[in-house]
Structure 1
Amino acid sequence: MRDESTLERADRNYNELLQELRVAQTGVQILFAFLLTIPFQQRFGEEVGAGLRGEYLATLLVTGMATAFLIAPVTMHRLLFRQGLKPQLVTAADWMAKGGLACLAVAVLLAVFLIVAVVSSQSLAFWFVGGLGALFAVTWLIVPIYVRTKY
């Protein structure tokens, strides 16, 4: 345990959370920008059938949700600034960050599915997404849970 007050701990936790969110926000912003430009490409209308258009819209939606969740802690901080609610802010921001990361994982999987389905086939896209989904599960969930319970 560190020798720090509740407010000092909340300040440190919030600063650490913001550092983590900077990495995630960059990734989701790049993915979102990519998705926003796709429909304006000439090949989009030719290569993407009705089924994949729905998948594209789902990908766009989940990426937008990830963006909202991952930026929300900054907005909350602005609205709650100097209100003496830093511990509550940290708790809410933690939940939003977790929701944003979950949405980001789904968005990446959907984007990979979309691209592989267009470039190759939907059956191969399922294999790609299955393998990548397993990698996300292991690195984002299983290893951290193992470390938390082991140490």
Structure 2
Amino acid sequence: MSTGGTGSDTERGRHETPTERWDRNWVDIQQELRIVQTGTQILAGFLLTLPFQQRFTSLTDRQETIYLVLVVLAVVVTVVALSAVATHRLVFRQRQKHDLVRAGNIILIVTLIASALLFSGTVLFVFDVVLGRIGGIVGGAAVFIGTGVLWTSLPFALRRTARDETD
């Protein structure tokens, strides 16, 4: 599995068997999921403490709805990320590492998309409570757009660079 460009892994100096490559890819996915999950767990913990704050009782119906959507989204991100672990457990020693890596890649992408929604929704919620509805919309949209631009433009730029180097 080539990581970009037209050259094979061997041509670029990586000497590994397909099994070693799948193992390395799986370890990469696990590490990336750990990073996402840690941030999400911290954010979920923050969200779960809010109802115990005095100011929570002054939320509008809209703010309560946003809050509840965020709690559900935090749970969804965690469950989706953990589905990679569950999948690994269920196919353990079944010689399906290549399928696991493919599924793990999809799981990680879905987790990142849901995380972007969670991060921007949290900013929307906090800004809404502190600055009002317009401030919440502007803050949430800025985080969502900024995350989307950063998470897509950098990888696409790196892919283009890898192609340019092999030409």
Choose the corresponding residue for 1:104, options 90, 98, 115: 115
- Taking structure 2 as the reference length, what is the TM-score of the superposition? 0.84
Match of 1:131 in 2: 142
SS in 2 for 1:3: coil
Asked if the contact 1:113/1:129 (under 8 Å) is kept, the reply is: yes
- Taking structure 1 as the reference length, what is the TM-score of the superposition? 0.93
Higher relative contact order (CA closer than 8 Å, sequence separation 6+): 2
Asked if the contact 2:37/2:78 (under 8 Å) is kept, the reply is: yes
Tell me the number of residue pairs that the alignment of Structure 1 and Structure 2 aligns. Answer: 150
- Point out the structure with max Rg over C-alpha: 2
Is 1:36 matched up with 2:48?
A: yes
- Structure 2 gap ranges (5+): 1-8, 163-167
Q: Identity of aligned pairs, percent?
A: 33
Of 71-80 and 115-124, the range deviating more from structure 2 = 71-80
AA aligned opposite 2:139: F
AA aligned opposite 1:14: W
Is 1:14 matched up with 2:14?
A: no
Match of 1:59 in 2: 70
Match of 1:27 in 2: 39
- Structure 1 gap ranges (5+): none
Partner Cα distance (2:149, 2:62) in 1: 30
Aligned-residue offset at 1:15: 0.5
Aligned-residue offset at 1:143: 1.7
Partner Cα distance (2:62, 2:33) in 1: 33
Aligned-residue offset at 1:103: 0.4
Asked if the contact 2:119/2:143 (under 8 Å) is kept, the reply is: no
RMSD: 1.2
Match of 2:159 in 1: 148
Deviating runs (4+, > 6 A) in structure 1? none
Is 1:122 matched up with 2:133?
A: yes
Partner Cα distance (1:49, 1:131) in 2: 23
Of 9-18 and 131-140, the range deviating more from structure 2 = 131-140
Partner Cα distance (1:65, 1:32) in 2: 11
Aligned-residue offset at 1:78: 1.5
Aligned-residue offset at 1:3: 2.4
Query: Which has the larger helix fraction?
Result: 1
